[in-house]
Structure 1
Amino acid sequence: MDGHAHAPEVEHALARTPGVEASRLVLREYASARPLRECFARESFPLPEPGPGQLLLRTHLLSIDICARTRMQADAGPADRLDLGEVMPCATVSQVVASRHRGFREGEYVLAHSGWQTHEVVDASEIRRKLYPNVAPVAAALGIYGLYGYIAWSAVREVCQPRAGDTAVVAAAAGPIGATVCQLLQARQARVVAVTSGEEKCAHVRRSFDPAVVLDRDAPGFEDALRAACPDGVDIFVENVDGRCIDPVLPLLNRFARVPLCGALDVEWDRSTGDRLPVFLNAMLERQLQVRPFTSRDITRLHPQYLADPQFISELGALLRSGQLRWHEEVMEGLDALPQALERLVRGENLGKLLVRLD
């Protein structure tokens, strides 16, 4: 036995999808002042057939990630920039249409990295994780039970190390990382001050996760409200992409405070205000702060399909099955909705994890 399914089984599976045509969105031009949707072109291509040891995947759900905006910049670094004519990469929940590997069967769901296209042929060795709907909805693999949940879980376990009564400030608390962090910290008896933006997101965080305090970072008097919410200082500060909370939180950090950085900061350095890095470094030195970054590159090394940490899968799976963790998703429909979904994410209009479904 060579470990692969026989070719007639593949032909039978493909025969049940007559006339199916694969489609993809490719980058036509780099982003400028024009809407992002005008930067992409739709292409059709013949439905590929898998070779020995390969799988034909049909994309079911796609993750919309802010890093896609960076990939569309002509001046982005070589490791980030997407070449013209290429498909935007992203994590996907995909279904096996045809298999020539005995480890996978037609109809199974997997966590893949097919990007903005309806179908892809991959080597079965690239797929490290099957998805089981009886454990959690397959969509959760693109959020709380996937990369975002893994970053949150790793940050809480390895850096936050919360103790009962610790005060924790969580920025971007309505997002998939922040929401998961809030719940994991509360489960360990930390007192969570959740920070988000706008009345709708504040109401969602308060209703869904019930932290000790919810603050609107865009509301007048935010810094005063933050100080009032942390009368004993801050023991844990989880920064999550926004970056605007660093300045008001920094003076409140207690000695030995833990600070996981869970994303690239979405703020520009204003040189007119001077270099703030020495202030931050002095705070690290004087108060012995523990600062550690957690990014998608650091966590997954190559692609999210390598996200198969058995302890994470076991622990988070148990919490999801028992209903102890809550999450929120927004789903848009269709391949052509992908650029609009990215625009919505860039404007910060989404609530929870933003997905696009192709079925």
Structure 2
Amino acid sequence: MMNTLPIRKIIHVDMDAFYASVAQMDNPELKGKAIAVGGGGIRGVISAASYEARTFGVKSAMSGRLAIKLCPELIFVRTDFARYTEISKHVRRIFYDYTDLVEPLSLDEAYLDVTENKKGNPSASLIAEEIRTRIFNEVGLTASAGISINKFIAKVASDYNKPNGQKTVNPEEVLQFLEVLDIRKFYGVGKVTSEKMYQKGIFTGADLKSKSLEYLDDNFGKSGRYYYHVVRGIHNSEVKPNRIRKSLAAERTFSKNLSSEVFMLEKLDHIAEEVSKRLNKSNVAGKTITLKIKYSDFTLQTRSKTLPYFINDKNIILDTAKDLLYQERLNNSVRLLGISLSNLNTETSKTKKVKTIEKPISVQLKFEF
């Protein structure tokens, strides 16, 4: 199968252990030590871990209690999003010196399309190396990069030589690179899916490639077509410089499990207020309200309701969240509540009416990478 679209030169830049590295840079006494960002306290959850901590098995989304068992010397530091944002803006200014086709994925990673770039440099690999050098010299942090013909392969490649490295997958190397790749390294294949693939004898890209489209559709649903194409180097998504926000959310993890809905309503009031503030600050509104409930046994449940109009008012958000809370009986005591708004007016047009309340690849072409 041939990719009929032109080959692009895509770079995926990913800052190395960003939150933890910022903490170590700003606090020299933490350099070389095992640290975790967030996760402090009895019920805290880790946002990021330094590479020193990762050697003990500490990782993001892990409870602080488990992390300290794995690494008794672990040092917990507070998150500092104002600082992360400041550094992220500096890094992005560096990106824009090379191309306007920059698609941020988060504060610490982005895609760049440098097929045609402001430096007139035909080598995407050299551009990536220059960008990483500038980040280190101007910011003081290291970054890794992946370079290839599309976003999927570039993202996979950026993890190949971490930390502080880069990997280029040239057009003629794409198929071989993907065939020998462990299926767990494929972007979009999570833990549950990889286990399912293992059970079906799919361990590498070559194993995945041997399966027909019909087989993948039958066994992996709508994701089957995606797997079928990406393992053949086909991923035609362009770098989108103006990524549209698709949802906005806020959540709270409680110091003690909540079993009374009265106490939950009090927490929902604060969460709804935070969501409303963020919506108004971003000048957006949404139709679909989702209530997220994480129980004491860590099982997760979501309940959603779509309104006939766009809203960003706290009272409407809260009332809808209350309805969702009472929609069915809770399975257990609750450790986390969250509210999100999706189906935003950014996905169509911001001129939509908002309800408010008055208040006083498989290709053989070659070129220089």
Q: TM-score, normalised by structure 2?
A: 0.24
Q: TM-score, normalised by structure 1?
A: 0.25
